[in-house]
Chains A and B, each alone.
Chain A
Amino acid sequence: MVTVHSSESEFGDLHRRLFILRVGLLLVVVLLGLRLWHLQIREGPYYRDLSENNRTRLVLLEPARGLIYDRHGVLLANNVPSFSLYVTLEDVKDREALIQQLTDLLGLDPTIVRKKMTAKGSKLLPRKIKDHMTLRDATLVESHRLDMPGVMIQVESQRNYPGGVTAAHLLGYVGEISADQLEKPEFIDLHQGSIVGQYGVEKSYDRHVRGTAGQKSVEVDALGHEKKASVVERPQAGNDLYLTIDVRLQKVAEDLLGQEQGAIVALDPNSGDVLAMASRPGFDPNVLSRELTAKQWVEIVQDEGRPLNNRASQGQYPPGSTFKIPMAVAALETKTMLPSSTVYCNGGYQFGKRLYHDWKASGHGYVNLHNALVHSCDVYFYTIGQRMGIDVIAEFGKDFGLGKATGVELPSERSGIMPSTAWKQKAKNEQWLPGETISAAIGQGYVTVTPLQMASLIGTVANDGINYRPRLVLAVMDRTSGNLQELPAVPRGKINAKPDTFRIIKDALAEVVTKGTATKAKSSMVTIGGKTGTAQVAALRTGPEENIPKKFRDHAWFVAFAPVESPKIAVAVLAEHMGHGGATAAPLAKEIIETYLKLTSQAPAVTSDLSSGNGLGRSSKDS
């Protein structure tokens, strides 16, 4: 077919070549047909026989999930072996006898076992009858295996959280992949039954921690027992995570909240590292990572305290007087107030027909910005709020990260609300009322924030306007290469304010603790700056706090940083229904700050641990 052609005759020649192509194609198809005839007709019976006795099959080898450590290498999540009992019905001779045997041996409920054995599904594939067996039960079954054909014990890997409830909201839990998740492209390599992170860091870092499944081919004998296995592809373990939290501080934070509902967030303002993030009530991720019965699940979901809710990043509360911090920055920056100008507070602020009360009925007299912050004078902030208007306030609030998610690597973070005229038009299709600005000025009304946002806000103030995204993961350790990859701190921007502004605010916040509303946070160890807040729950309240049912009592806020001179830690405390922030939240913040400073003085090389690269695990013991 290869001859010399002139380009003119080319097209005519095409037909001859097409003819050759047809002949060639027919030949190939005949060859294929012959091959198939050979396979199916001549050797058919041989292959039929092979297929009927085919007892080798591919079994997936699940990868080990990566481990999770705190910043000093304390283990927070690992994997432990767990024993499950499987039965292959095809190999069972007498089903009822087997049920009887299993009931006698392990004390299982015969009706449940029977139900599982008669459920729909292939007789040839092993089905799980019981998981999370004790080692004793597993060996018991193993020793009776010969009497019970078709029964097999499988060792599976079970996620384990040695700390139990500690840092549960951060770590999250794992579970079988859902049908919806299987549809998503990020889970394309997974299959039904794969374990994936369903909450917390387990979910947001699932891609890193998950690993890659392997395969082995297994030859089984006539009783269904594994006779020979060879690994086709080894599973690849997931990568390890080093979190930014110090689990000791985390524990203290959780214990401080105790049985109360609330959240504590501690950040390193210089990097955004989350040092502790506690939310109460909590849950035990060990329980949630197992197969729950429908009843157990309903109990958890319907719990009034909503333990699955991470109050630190998902709880939205009015900021109360803690909102006076961005208000004060706004007033100074817009020159609405000079630091020295005063407002007279007689205990109330008349606007239109309504009198807006100060928390101190007798009033604060003449107050400047400094004293307004120290004594949390409401009238001062009503006045400047009214002068600036809601849209200017909103602009500064947004600069501090209010009304938008912080971007922390946790699923379903909430963003709170920083209201403005445009927001109200969009959200409620109503016009903004001037009186609403006055409520917003002291952090009530539409304004809501999460404790994490407030910790980030006070950290930004402490750091003179430089803001970092709160981060949870310090480093990822690649299991295959053994490389420790440190994740960088992520700057979120800087608030452009005069250097004096933050100095004035920080001075005032320091005096809040020494002389003002938060003297309970005063520490003999370190200088602390902070601001109290009270988030109203029910609008109208009469009588003393003790007479009000607890669920209508106010939430207590305290945000703080320390040391005032060179801040190392920023804290936000929110205690639900605990009344005034100065009384209940401030002492908790002080406790956290003191604990952290004690811990860091014990182990001064916190971040330099990482650069040694030689396993974070040892460094905390070395130092």
Chain B
Amino acid sequence: MTATLEVTAWICESCGFVYDPADGDPDGGIPAGTAFAEIPDDWFCPVCGARKKDFVPYSG
């Protein structure tokens, strides 16, 4: 269960940007390999500015 959560991608509900833990978000200070749950709460979507709480799990 924990392993599944760590590799789950998350999608921004406002614009469709997909956060993939394998890529992280280096420009936003998030190294590759960072699980979504470990991202700071003040991180925001690089495309539209939505907050972390506006993302939901993405099944692809």
Q: Are both chains from one complex?
A: no
